Amino acid sequence: MGLNVMNKVMSNKLYIAFYIAPAFILLMVLIFIPLLLSGYYGLMDWDGIGEKTFIGLDNYIEGIQDKLFWNSALHSFLLALFSALSLIIYLAVSIILASKIKGADLLRKIYLIPMLLSSVAIAQLWVKVYNPSNGILNSFLRTIGVENPPSWLADPSLVLFAIFVPILWQYAGFYILIYYAALKNIPESLIEAARIDGATPFQIAMRIKLPLIKEIVSVTIVLAIVGSLKYFDLIYVMTAGGPNGASEVMASYMYKLAFSSYNFGYGSAIGFLLLIITLIVTLIIRKVTETKEKLEY
Amino acid sequence: MKRVGYFFLYLALIVVALFQILPLIWLFLFSLKSNQEIFAGSPFSLPSEFRWENYQKVWDGGIGTYFLNSVWITIAAIIFTVLFASMAAFALTRMKWKLSGLVLGLFMIGLMIPIHSALIPLYSMFLSVDMIDNPWSIVITYTAYNLPITLMILLGFYYTLPHEVEEAAIIDGCSIHRMFFRIILPMTTPIMATTVVINMIYNWNEFVFVNTFISSEKYKTLTVGIQNFIGQYMTDWGAIGATLIISVFPIIIAFIFFSNKVVEGISSSAVKG
């Protein structure tokens, strides 16, 4: 009888609505509806304030033919590639860190500190690091005898790499933390058995540890690549996409179209393309990592 | 031989640690120096005289307003997010209804959304209800966008709560609201603490919504406010350093006291994506 009362209370529609409604309404109104509207506004010629004029797929066609957009997409994908490759470094550091190192706990917390800071503060700090005359980097280069060190953020051929270093710095602790936790979950007995069989630490890392944390590695690949496609704050503050578009990324290009040129219709179309590209890339990576798992198990 | 190997492993780890920490130490040191000393002296030398007046100068210059805005907006959004996400977690894990799977799926999709795609429509929505340049637009936006990740972190814990507690409470004639707010919610304190810390970091550091929706100085938060500040003190490195240190200070303090919660929260936010 008690359970009956319980079931009755727990399936009361009014109560359910009361508990789920606040979160659900916010999710719909502030996340899903704007996303759909973005696709819809993309069909309009609109300056954000005046009347919207329906122009069909013109904005999307313009976007697909827009060299500046593809230029920014190329930069986003390059950053995504760098981020994915940097996972190898993080993984190597994590494997060392998880191999019975004293002070590992303290070290991984130190690694995590940059991750806690705002991208704006990180950007401002690294603008100072790269300052051509007084930055710590060029001071150091001059001390070791480099006479004309580059002016990093003002150099179109270097700016993307220069921006990538703070990204590496910001996220290192995050990925190391994730890998470290996964590695610590591997049963010690497995590693001990391999060691007794005469496996070298390198073999143990490659043949036992890596395959066992493959799932988490594929999650981090998605995070790194999709995360990179969305970069904005850091780049907006460090270079605003400059010099001359050399560090423009998809999100910063969209932002400029909407909030500097007041081209809301076209900006929305670019924003919607960004959404679609992100979803497609996520699905592709998920698919690729999935098939691999099926093949090897 | 083994000892030599370990030496190199430690060396590698310490080099990484130095790379992570040296830029921040450099920042702290130059926040206490004069320009002369920064440009002429060695980067990691201690200041000849600790110029705390750099901090005094930027605080008097008005950074306090941005700081207080960051504080109240961060706290308000945390309260709404954690409360609404807890209620949703309760409805999704303990109550019986047909659409719960679908609703959970929608929250999961909410985790993967690039916020920039929603930015222009959000701006025009707030404009149409006259909430542009109103700090509450920021609070509700933060609440909405942090709900999915907060819910994901909470769900695991809610699944493990024993059903006997609710049964006993209901049979004793306790109302469902009393049961949730007085019994269930207090039981989830440890996991709520984790979500609070994670939300604090996200809200404190958020930039693009404030930069887009807020134009009055009096409503700006630190991330956007320090942009103006730094423009204003273009050549005064000490003042810029002090501004940046003030802006990251609360997060660093939270990390020192709650580092385990931060580690736990950040690890569980890996489901994001």
DSSP states of chain B as a string? Answer: -HHHHHHHHHHHHHHHHHHHHHHHHHHHHHTTS-HHHHHHS-TTSPPSS--THHHHHHIIIIIHHHHHHHHHHHHHHHHHHHHHHHHHHHHHHHS--TTHHHHHHHHHHHTT--THHHHHHHHHHHHHTT-TT-HHHHHHHHHHHHHHHHHHHHHHHHHHS-HHHHHHHHHTT--HHHIIIIIIHHHTHHHHHHHHHHHHHHHHH--HHHHHH---GGG--HHHHHHHHHHHTTT-HHHHHHHHHHHHHHHHHHHHHHHHHHHHHHHHGGG--
Q: How many CB atoms lie within 10 A of CB A166?
A: 22
Which 64-93 residues of chain B touch chain A by CB within 8 A?
A: 83-85, 87-88, 90-92
Q: How confident is the model at residue A175 (pLDDT cuts 50, 70, 90)?
A: very high
Q: What is the mean pLDDT of residues A190-206?
A: 86
pLDDT tens digit string along B220-273? 999 998 887 887 777 788 888 999 999 999 999 989 999 888 888 888 776 543
Long-range contacts of A83-87 (CB under 8 A, 24+ apart): A83/A164, A83/A167, A83/A171, A83/A224, A83/A225, A83/A227, A83/A228, A84/A221, A84/A224, A84/A225, A86/A168, A86/A171, A86/A172, A86/A224, A87/A175, A87/A217, A87/A220, A87/A221, A87/A224
CA separation, residue A134 to residues A162, A242, B42 (Å): 16, 21, 11
Residue B33 in this model has a pLDDT that exceeds 90 = no
Helix (H, G, I), strand (E, B) or coil at A53: strand
Percent above pLDDT 90 for chain B:
58
CA distance A223 to B272: 8
pLDDT tens digit string along A57-110? 888 988 889 999 999 999 999 999 999 999 999 999 999 998 878 888 899 999
Which 119-148 residues of chain B touch chain A by CB within 8 A?
A: 119-125, 140-141, 143-145, 147-148
Q: Do A206 and A254 touch, CB atoms closer than 8 A?
A: no
In the block, tokens 């051509």 appear at: A132
**Among A282, A278, A285, which residue's Cα sits nearest to residue A254?**
A278
Helix (H) or strand (E) holding A45: strand A44-45
**ipTM rounded to 2 decimals:** 0.90
- List, in sequence order, the alpha helices (H) in A136-209: 136-143, 159-184, 188-196, 201-203
Residue B94 in this model has a pLDDT that exceeds 60 = yes
CA distance B39 to chain A (A): 6
Residue A217 in this model has a pLDDT that exceeds 60 = yes
Which 18-77 residues of chain A touch chain B by CB within 8 A?
A: 18-20, 22-24, 26-27, 29-35, 37-38, 41, 48
Res B166: pLDDT: 83
- CB pairs A-B closer than 8 Å: 267
Residue A293 in this model has a pLDDT that exceeds 60 = no
A136 touches chain B (CB under 8 A): yes
pLDDT tens digit string along B210-235? 999 999 999 999 999 888 788 777 77
Residue A242 in this model has a pLDDT that exceeds 70 = yes
Q: Do A112 and B43 touch (CB under 8 A)?
A: no
Rounded to the nearest 10 degrees, what angle do helices B237-268 and A119-129 cross at?
130
Res A49: pLDDT: 79
Would you say the C-alpha torsion A76, A81, A82, A86 has a positive or negative sign? positive
Q: Do B144 and A29 touch (CB under 8 A)?
A: yes
B165 touches chain A (CB under 8 A): no
Res B190: pLDDT: 92
**Which class in CATH covers the domain with range A42-120+158-288?**
mainly alpha
Helix (H) or strand (E) holding A54: strand A53-54
Residue A296 in this model has a pLDDT that exceeds 60 = no
Average pLDDT, chain B: 89
CA distance B152 to chain A (A): 13
Residue type, A115: M
Res B271: pLDDT: 55
CA distance B263 to A112: 8
Q: How confident is the model at residue B114 (pLDDT cuts 50, 70, 90)?
A: confident
pLDDT tens digit string along A112-145? 999 999 999 999 999 989 998 888 898 889 889 8
A99 touches chain B (CB under 8 A): yes
